[in-house]
Structure 1
Amino acid sequence: MEHDGGDGQLGWYVVANIARETAHGDAGLDIQRGLKHFAPGARVWIPRPPWDPGDGRMPVVGHHRGNTRRYVNIVVRREDLENFRAKGVYSLKLLRSLNGWRHDLTAPTTPLYAWPSREKAQEWADVWNSPLEPARLDGGSFRPFLAVPNPPPAELEVNGRKYYLAHYSARGPRYSSEPPPYEPAPQLP
Protein backbone atom coordinates (compact mmCIF):
# COMPACT_ATOMS: atom_id res chain seq x y z
CA MET A 1 0.00 0.00 0.00
CA GLU A 2 1.27 3.47 -0.84
CA HIS A 3 1.35 6.07 1.89
CA ASP A 4 2.47 9.66 1.59
CA GLY A 5 4.27 9.81 4.90
CA GLY A 6 7.89 10.63 5.35
CA ASP A 7 10.50 10.72 8.13
CA GLY A 8 9.68 7.22 9.37
CA GLN A 9 5.94 7.59 9.07
CA LEU A 10 4.25 4.24 8.57
CA GLY A 11 0.73 5.29 7.52
CA TRP A 12 -2.29 7.51 8.16
CA TYR A 13 -4.97 6.53 10.66
CA VAL A 14 -7.96 8.14 12.35
CA VAL A 15 -7.44 8.95 16.03
CA ALA A 16 -10.16 9.67 18.61
CA ASN A 17 -10.53 10.13 22.34
CA ILE A 18 -12.69 8.08 24.68
CA ALA A 19 -15.66 10.18 25.82
CA ARG A 20 -15.47 11.52 29.37
CA GLU A 21 -18.93 10.15 30.14
CA THR A 22 -20.41 7.05 28.51
CA ALA A 23 -23.97 5.73 28.81
CA HIS A 24 -24.55 2.09 29.69
CA GLY A 25 -27.26 -0.14 31.07
CA ASP A 26 -30.99 -0.09 30.54
CA ALA A 27 -31.98 2.93 28.39
CA GLY A 28 -28.48 4.37 28.85
CA LEU A 29 -29.20 5.65 32.36
CA ASP A 30 -25.98 4.31 33.89
CA ILE A 31 -23.39 7.05 33.25
CA GLN A 32 -19.74 6.01 33.71
CA ARG A 33 -16.35 7.67 33.29
CA GLY A 34 -14.70 6.26 30.17
CA LEU A 35 -14.92 2.59 29.32
CA LYS A 36 -13.96 -0.61 31.13
CA HIS A 37 -10.74 -0.96 29.13
CA PHE A 38 -9.96 2.71 28.40
CA ALA A 39 -9.71 5.72 30.69
CA PRO A 40 -11.75 8.85 29.87
CA GLY A 41 -9.93 11.01 27.31
CA ALA A 42 -7.59 8.15 26.30
CA ARG A 43 -6.36 8.31 22.70
CA VAL A 44 -7.33 5.37 20.51
CA TRP A 45 -6.33 4.61 16.92
CA ILE A 46 -8.95 3.49 14.43
CA PRO A 47 -7.72 1.33 11.54
CA ARG A 48 -9.54 1.37 8.21
CA PRO A 49 -12.19 -1.22 9.05
CA PRO A 50 -11.47 -4.56 7.32
CA TRP A 51 -14.95 -5.69 8.42
CA ASP A 52 -18.06 -4.03 9.78
CA PRO A 53 -18.90 -5.09 13.33
CA GLY A 54 -22.33 -3.44 12.88
CA ASP A 55 -24.55 -1.48 15.26
CA GLY A 56 -22.35 1.63 15.07
CA ARG A 57 -19.33 -0.16 16.51
CA MET A 58 -15.73 -0.01 15.32
CA PRO A 59 -12.42 -1.68 16.16
CA VAL A 60 -9.92 0.53 18.02
CA VAL A 61 -6.38 0.14 19.33
CA GLY A 62 -5.13 1.95 22.43
CA HIS A 63 -3.31 1.69 25.73
CA HIS A 64 -5.25 -0.40 28.23
CA ARG A 65 -6.57 1.42 31.30
CA GLY A 66 -4.63 -0.79 33.69
CA ASN A 67 -1.37 -1.05 31.73
CA THR A 68 -0.16 2.01 29.82
CA ARG A 69 2.58 0.04 28.03
CA ARG A 70 0.33 -2.54 26.37
CA TYR A 71 -1.86 -1.92 23.32
CA VAL A 72 -5.20 -3.72 23.11
CA ASN A 73 -7.56 -4.22 20.15
CA ILE A 74 -11.18 -3.83 21.19
CA VAL A 75 -14.47 -3.11 19.41
CA VAL A 76 -16.27 -0.09 20.93
CA ARG A 77 -19.40 1.92 20.13
CA ARG A 78 -18.80 4.99 17.98
CA GLU A 79 -20.88 7.09 20.38
CA ASP A 80 -18.26 6.41 23.09
CA LEU A 81 -15.63 8.22 20.97
CA GLU A 82 -15.14 11.94 20.33
CA ASN A 83 -12.76 14.38 18.66
CA PHE A 84 -11.92 12.33 15.54
CA ARG A 85 -8.85 13.48 13.54
CA ALA A 86 -6.21 12.14 11.14
CA LYS A 87 -2.76 11.33 12.47
CA GLY A 88 0.34 9.54 11.22
CA VAL A 89 1.78 6.41 12.86
CA TYR A 90 5.52 6.26 13.55
CA SER A 91 5.74 3.40 16.05
CA LEU A 92 6.34 -0.19 14.91
CA LYS A 93 4.75 -1.48 18.12
CA LEU A 94 1.57 0.50 17.40
CA LEU A 95 1.56 -0.58 13.74
CA ARG A 96 1.86 -4.22 14.83
CA SER A 97 -1.26 -3.77 17.00
CA LEU A 98 -3.14 -1.96 14.23
CA ASN A 99 -2.36 -4.75 11.76
CA GLY A 100 -3.55 -7.33 14.29
CA TRP A 101 -3.17 -11.02 13.57
CA ARG A 102 -2.42 -10.30 9.88
CA HIS A 103 0.83 -8.45 10.72
CA ASP A 104 3.60 -9.76 8.46
CA LEU A 105 6.91 -10.22 10.29
CA THR A 106 8.80 -10.35 6.99
CA ALA A 107 7.52 -6.83 6.13
CA PRO A 108 7.07 -5.21 9.57
CA THR A 109 6.64 -1.64 8.25
CA THR A 110 3.72 -2.46 5.92
CA PRO A 111 0.45 -0.91 7.16
CA LEU A 112 -2.44 -3.22 6.29
CA TYR A 113 -5.37 -1.06 7.42
CA ALA A 114 -4.06 2.48 6.93
CA TRP A 115 -5.92 5.07 4.90
CA PRO A 116 -4.21 5.83 1.56
CA SER A 117 -3.67 9.51 2.40
CA ARG A 118 -4.10 12.07 5.15
CA GLU A 119 -6.99 13.65 3.22
CA LYS A 120 -8.91 10.35 3.08
CA ALA A 121 -8.38 9.73 6.80
CA GLN A 122 -9.50 13.29 7.61
CA GLU A 123 -12.57 12.83 5.39
CA TRP A 124 -13.67 9.86 7.54
CA ALA A 125 -12.85 11.77 10.74
CA ASP A 126 -15.10 14.63 9.57
CA VAL A 127 -17.94 12.18 8.87
CA TRP A 128 -17.62 10.66 12.34
CA ASN A 129 -17.40 14.11 13.99
CA SER A 130 -20.79 15.11 12.56
CA PRO A 131 -23.00 12.12 13.35
CA LEU A 132 -26.19 11.61 11.39
CA GLU A 133 -29.27 9.78 12.51
CA PRO A 134 -31.86 7.91 10.46
CA ALA A 135 -35.15 9.69 9.75
CA ARG A 136 -38.59 8.37 8.83
CA LEU A 137 -40.81 9.98 6.20
CA ASP A 138 -44.62 9.90 6.56
CA GLY A 139 -44.51 7.19 9.22
CA GLY A 140 -42.72 4.74 6.94
CA SER A 141 -39.66 2.69 7.65
CA PHE A 142 -36.04 3.82 7.48
CA ARG A 143 -35.87 2.54 3.89
CA PRO A 144 -34.75 4.20 1.72
CA PHE A 145 -32.11 5.31 4.19
CA LEU A 146 -32.30 9.00 4.93
CA ALA A 147 -29.87 10.57 7.38
CA VAL A 148 -30.22 13.99 8.95
CA PRO A 149 -27.95 15.91 11.33
CA ASN A 150 -28.61 16.22 15.02
CA PRO A 151 -30.56 18.42 15.79
CA PRO A 152 -32.76 17.69 12.77
CA PRO A 153 -33.92 20.50 10.47
CA ALA A 154 -37.54 21.67 10.76
CA GLU A 155 -38.09 21.27 7.00
CA LEU A 156 -36.61 18.79 4.57
CA GLU A 157 -36.87 18.42 0.80
CA VAL A 158 -36.59 14.93 -0.69
CA ASN A 159 -37.11 14.24 -4.41
CA GLY A 160 -38.77 17.63 -4.89
CA ARG A 161 -41.27 17.04 -2.07
CA LYS A 162 -41.26 19.07 1.14
CA TYR A 163 -41.45 17.34 4.53
CA TYR A 164 -41.96 18.90 7.96
CA LEU A 165 -40.60 17.71 11.29
CA ALA A 166 -43.57 16.11 13.05
CA HIS A 167 -41.94 14.32 15.98
CA TYR A 168 -38.47 13.93 17.46
CA SER A 169 -37.61 11.35 20.09
CA ALA A 170 -34.88 8.91 21.10
CA ARG A 171 -35.89 6.77 18.12
CA GLY A 172 -35.04 9.58 15.73
CA PRO A 173 -36.88 12.27 13.79
CA ARG A 174 -40.15 11.63 11.94
CA TYR A 175 -41.20 13.83 9.07
CA SER A 176 -44.65 14.39 7.56
CA SER A 177 -45.66 15.80 4.19
CA GLU A 178 -48.51 17.62 5.97
CA PRO A 179 -47.54 21.08 7.23
CA PRO A 180 -47.85 21.68 10.98
CA PRO A 181 -51.22 23.03 12.15
CA TYR A 182 -51.59 26.77 12.33
CA GLU A 183 -51.86 28.14 15.84
CA PRO A 184 -52.55 31.85 16.13
CA ALA A 185 -50.39 33.77 18.58
CA PRO A 186 -52.17 34.69 21.82
CA GLN A 187 -53.26 38.33 22.04
CA LEU A 188 -51.82 40.34 24.87
CA PRO A 189 -54.25 42.65 26.77
Structure 2
Amino acid sequence: MTDTGSTDEQTPDGLLGWCLVANVARETAHGESGLDIQRGTKHFPVGALLWIPRVRWDPGHCRWPAVGRHRGNSRRYINMVVRAQDLENFRVKGVYSEGLVRSLNGYLHDPAAPRTLQNPWSREHAQNWADGWNQPREPIRIDGRSRPWLSVPNPPPAEIQIDGETLHLAHYGTRGAHYSRTPPPVERAPEP
Protein backbone atom coordinates (compact mmCIF):
# COMPACT_ATOMS: atom_id res chain seq x y z
CA MET A 1 0.00 0.00 0.00
CA THR A 2 1.38 3.41 -0.90
CA ASP A 3 1.01 6.59 1.08
CA THR A 4 -1.03 9.06 -0.98
CA GLY A 5 -1.06 11.81 1.65
CA SER A 6 1.04 14.94 1.24
CA THR A 7 4.47 15.12 2.78
CA ASP A 8 6.03 17.98 4.72
CA GLU A 9 8.19 18.77 1.69
CA GLN A 10 5.10 19.31 -0.49
CA THR A 11 2.97 21.28 2.01
CA PRO A 12 4.73 23.24 4.77
CA ASP A 13 3.09 23.43 8.22
CA GLY A 14 0.59 26.27 8.53
CA LEU A 15 0.33 26.86 4.77
CA LEU A 16 -3.08 28.27 3.86
CA GLY A 17 -2.47 28.46 0.10
CA TRP A 18 -0.19 29.74 -2.66
CA CYS A 19 -0.18 33.22 -4.16
CA LEU A 20 1.54 35.14 -6.94
CA VAL A 21 3.64 37.98 -5.49
CA ALA A 22 5.75 40.79 -6.93
CA ASN A 23 7.70 43.82 -5.75
CA VAL A 24 6.99 47.43 -6.65
CA ALA A 25 9.56 48.56 -9.23
CA ARG A 26 12.27 51.07 -8.35
CA GLU A 27 11.17 53.46 -11.09
CA THR A 28 7.63 53.80 -12.42
CA ALA A 29 6.62 55.83 -15.47
CA HIS A 30 3.64 58.19 -15.27
CA GLY A 31 2.24 61.17 -17.13
CA GLU A 32 2.21 61.95 -20.81
CA SER A 33 4.19 59.35 -22.77
CA GLY A 34 5.58 58.00 -19.48
CA LEU A 35 8.06 60.86 -19.09
CA ASP A 36 7.35 61.44 -15.38
CA ILE A 37 9.58 58.92 -13.58
CA GLN A 38 8.76 58.32 -9.91
CA ARG A 39 10.07 56.09 -7.14
CA GLY A 40 7.49 53.42 -6.37
CA THR A 41 3.79 54.22 -6.64
CA LYS A 42 1.48 56.63 -4.85
CA HIS A 43 0.34 53.96 -2.39
CA PHE A 44 3.31 51.57 -2.19
CA PRO A 45 7.04 52.27 -1.64
CA VAL A 46 9.87 50.87 -3.77
CA GLY A 47 10.30 47.14 -3.18
CA ALA A 48 6.97 46.69 -1.35
CA LEU A 49 5.75 43.10 -1.50
CA LEU A 50 2.37 42.86 -3.22
CA TRP A 51 0.20 39.75 -3.13
CA ILE A 52 -1.79 39.27 -6.34
CA PRO A 53 -4.96 37.21 -5.89
CA ARG A 54 -6.44 35.30 -8.80
CA VAL A 55 -8.41 37.80 -10.87
CA ARG A 56 -12.16 37.44 -10.44
CA TRP A 57 -12.86 40.57 -12.49
CA ASP A 58 -10.93 42.57 -15.04
CA PRO A 59 -10.11 46.08 -13.77
CA GLY A 60 -8.55 47.07 -17.10
CA HIS A 61 -5.77 46.17 -19.49
CA CYS A 62 -2.74 44.96 -17.51
CA ARG A 63 -4.15 46.19 -14.20
CA TRP A 64 -4.58 43.80 -11.32
CA PRO A 65 -6.04 43.87 -7.84
CA ALA A 66 -3.22 43.57 -5.31
CA VAL A 67 -2.86 43.35 -1.54
CA GLY A 68 0.01 45.02 0.28
CA ARG A 69 1.01 47.30 3.11
CA HIS A 70 0.42 51.01 2.43
CA ARG A 71 3.21 53.61 2.46
CA GLY A 72 1.82 55.37 5.54
CA ASN A 73 0.68 52.34 7.55
CA SER A 74 2.85 49.25 7.55
CA ARG A 75 0.59 47.29 9.90
CA ARG A 76 -2.56 46.72 7.85
CA TYR A 77 -3.09 45.20 4.43
CA ILE A 78 -4.95 47.25 1.82
CA ASN A 79 -6.45 46.27 -1.53
CA MET A 80 -5.55 48.40 -4.58
CA VAL A 81 -5.58 48.04 -8.33
CA VAL A 82 -2.02 48.33 -9.69
CA ARG A 83 -0.48 48.42 -13.15
CA ALA A 84 1.51 45.33 -14.09
CA GLN A 85 4.26 47.54 -15.54
CA ASP A 86 4.88 48.97 -12.04
CA LEU A 87 5.81 45.51 -10.72
CA GLU A 88 8.92 43.35 -10.99
CA ASN A 89 10.42 40.13 -9.61
CA PHE A 90 7.29 37.96 -9.90
CA ARG A 91 7.36 34.72 -7.92
CA VAL A 92 5.20 32.34 -5.87
CA LYS A 93 4.95 32.47 -2.07
CA GLY A 94 2.94 30.61 0.51
CA VAL A 95 0.19 32.35 2.49
CA TYR A 96 0.39 31.77 6.26
CA SER A 97 -1.51 34.74 7.76
CA GLU A 98 -5.25 34.86 8.45
CA GLY A 99 -5.16 38.66 8.02
CA LEU A 100 -3.65 38.23 4.57
CA VAL A 101 -6.28 35.60 3.69
CA ARG A 102 -9.00 38.07 4.74
CA SER A 103 -7.55 40.76 2.44
CA LEU A 104 -7.00 38.37 -0.48
CA ASN A 105 -10.60 37.11 -0.22
CA GLY A 106 -12.01 40.64 -0.12
CA TYR A 107 -15.81 40.74 -0.09
CA LEU A 108 -15.94 36.92 -0.53
CA HIS A 109 -14.31 36.34 2.89
CA ASP A 110 -16.26 33.94 5.08
CA PRO A 111 -15.80 34.68 8.82
CA ALA A 112 -16.85 31.09 9.57
CA ALA A 113 -13.77 29.86 7.63
CA PRO A 114 -11.08 32.50 8.32
CA ARG A 115 -8.22 30.29 7.08
CA THR A 116 -9.76 29.44 3.67
CA LEU A 117 -8.74 31.21 0.47
CA GLN A 118 -11.88 31.62 -1.65
CA ASN A 119 -10.19 31.68 -5.08
CA PRO A 120 -6.74 30.10 -4.55
CA TRP A 121 -3.87 29.80 -7.02
CA SER A 122 -2.38 26.41 -7.68
CA ARG A 123 1.37 26.53 -7.27
CA GLU A 124 1.94 25.56 -10.93
CA HIS A 125 -0.50 28.14 -12.32
CA ALA A 126 1.04 30.93 -10.23
CA GLN A 127 4.55 29.87 -11.32
CA ASN A 128 3.51 29.96 -14.99
CA TRP A 129 2.24 33.54 -14.56
CA ALA A 130 5.43 34.54 -12.73
CA ASP A 131 7.63 33.07 -15.47
CA GLY A 132 5.61 34.84 -18.15
CA TRP A 133 5.81 38.26 -16.48
CA ASN A 134 9.52 37.98 -15.63
CA GLN A 135 10.41 37.76 -19.33
CA PRO A 136 9.91 41.25 -20.78
CA ARG A 137 7.90 41.26 -24.00
CA GLU A 138 6.89 44.06 -26.36
CA PRO A 139 3.59 44.43 -28.22
CA ILE A 140 3.88 44.60 -31.99
CA ARG A 141 2.19 46.44 -34.84
CA ILE A 142 2.27 45.10 -38.38
CA ASP A 143 1.96 47.69 -41.18
CA GLY A 144 0.29 50.11 -38.77
CA ARG A 145 -2.24 47.65 -37.33
CA SER A 146 -2.05 46.63 -33.67
CA ARG A 147 -1.70 42.91 -32.93
CA PRO A 148 -2.21 42.70 -29.11
CA TRP A 149 -2.09 38.89 -29.07
CA LEU A 150 1.42 38.91 -30.56
CA SER A 151 4.55 40.00 -28.74
CA VAL A 152 8.32 39.81 -29.15
CA PRO A 153 11.20 39.76 -26.66
CA ASN A 154 12.76 43.02 -25.51
CA PRO A 155 14.88 44.07 -27.47
CA PRO A 156 12.93 42.98 -30.55
CA PRO A 157 14.58 40.91 -33.31
CA ALA A 158 15.23 42.52 -36.72
CA GLU A 159 13.09 39.89 -38.47
CA ILE A 160 10.29 37.58 -37.34
CA GLN A 161 8.29 34.82 -39.02
CA ILE A 162 4.49 34.90 -38.65
CA ASP A 163 2.29 32.49 -40.62
CA GLY A 164 5.16 31.73 -43.01
CA GLU A 165 5.69 35.42 -43.77
CA THR A 166 8.90 37.32 -42.94
CA LEU A 167 8.34 40.65 -41.23
CA HIS A 168 11.08 43.28 -40.86
CA LEU A 169 11.56 45.66 -37.91
CA ALA A 170 10.70 49.14 -39.20
CA HIS A 171 10.62 51.12 -35.95
CA TYR A 172 11.00 50.49 -32.23
CA GLY A 173 9.64 53.08 -29.80
CA THR A 174 7.63 53.61 -26.63
CA ARG A 175 4.55 51.96 -28.12
CA GLY A 176 6.32 48.74 -29.01
CA ALA A 177 7.89 47.25 -32.10
CA HIS A 178 6.55 48.16 -35.55
CA TYR A 179 7.10 45.56 -38.26
CA SER A 180 6.63 45.85 -42.00
CA ARG A 181 6.19 43.34 -44.80
CA THR A 182 8.57 45.32 -47.03
CA PRO A 183 12.28 44.85 -46.34
CA PRO A 184 14.34 47.85 -45.29
CA PRO A 185 16.13 49.79 -48.03
CA VAL A 186 19.64 48.62 -48.84
CA GLU A 187 22.31 51.20 -48.23
CA ARG A 188 24.90 51.38 -50.92
CA ALA A 189 28.44 52.33 -50.06
CA PRO A 190 29.97 55.00 -52.24
CA GLU A 191 32.64 53.68 -54.54
CA PRO A 192 36.15 55.06 -53.99
Provide TM-score, normalisation by structure 1.
0.90
Question: What is the CA distance between 1:32 and its match in structure 2?
Answer: 1.5
1:181 pairs, out of 181, 185, 190, with 185
Gaps of at least 5 residues in structure 1 are none
Q: Does 1:103 align with 2:109?
A: yes
2:142, 2:180 within 8 Å by CA — same for their partners in 1?
yes
1:103, 1:112 within 8 Å by CA — same for their partners in 2?
yes
Equivalences for residues 83-162 of structure 1 within 5 A: 83-116=89-122, 118-139=123-144, 141-143=145-147, 145-162=149-166
Provide TM-score, normalisation by structure 2.
0.88
Amino acid at match of 2:141: R
Q: Distance in 2 between matches of 1:143 and 1:121?
A: 26
1:77 pairs, out of 70, 83, 87, with 83
Q: Distance in 2 between matches of 1:169 and 1:186?
A: 30
Question: What is the CA distance between 1:6 and its match in structure 2?
Answer: 3.4
Q: Does 1:14 align with 2:20?
A: yes
RMSD: 1.9
Q: Distance in 1 between matches of 2:146 and 2:181?
A: 16
Q: Does 1:165 align with 2:178?
A: no
Gaps of at least 5 residues in structure 2 are 1-5
Name the count of aligned residue pairs. 184
Moved more, 65-74 or 24-33: 24-33
1:92, 1:108 within 8 Å by CA — same for their partners in 2?
yes
Identity of aligned residues (%): 62
Change (3 A) 1:161 1:96: same
Q: Distance in 2 between matches of 1:186 and 1:97?
A: 68
Q: Distance in 2 between matches of 1:26 and 1:136?
A: 21
Change (3 A) 1:186 1:47: farther
Look up the SS of the partner of 2:110 in the other structure.
coil
Question: What is the CA distance between 1:145 and its match in structure 2?
Answer: 2.9
Moved more, 107-116 or 157-166: 107-116
Q: Distance in 2 between matches of 1:30 and 1:179?
A: 35
Change (3 A) 1:104 1:128: same
**Deviation digits for residues 11-30 of structure 1, max 9, x if unmatched?**
11111111111122222222
Question: What is the CA distance between 1:164 and its match in structure 2?
Answer: 0.7
Amino acid at match of 1:175: Y
The runs of at least 4 consecutive aligned structure 1 residues that moved more than 6 Å come to none
